[in-house]
Amino acid sequence: MRAFHLIISDADVNQPRRIDFQAESPDHAFQIARNETDGIHVTLWEGETILAQMTKATSSLWKLHSTL
């Protein structure tokens, strides 16, 4: 298992939340974040490396952003 964490930011909350998890691959992050509200911003990390930045557009649609 590999160690990942999500940083979840919401316009209505001042402090971002961090969720740590262990998984075989980073796609497990979608399972964790699926119940979050639309419009949240999520950054997926593996250690010190950003793997993805995304915004939840609707209940089953995520918009991926450049990590550069």
Q: Is the pTM of this model over 0.95?
A: no
Instruction: Please give the order of strands across the beta sheet that includes 49-58.
Output: 17-23, 2-9, 41-46, 49-58, 61-65
Condensed to tens digits (0 to 9), the pLDDT of residues 18-40 reads: 999 999 999 998 888 888 888 89
d(CA 14, CA 29): 22
Number of domains the chain is built from? 1
Range of the domain at 16: 2-65
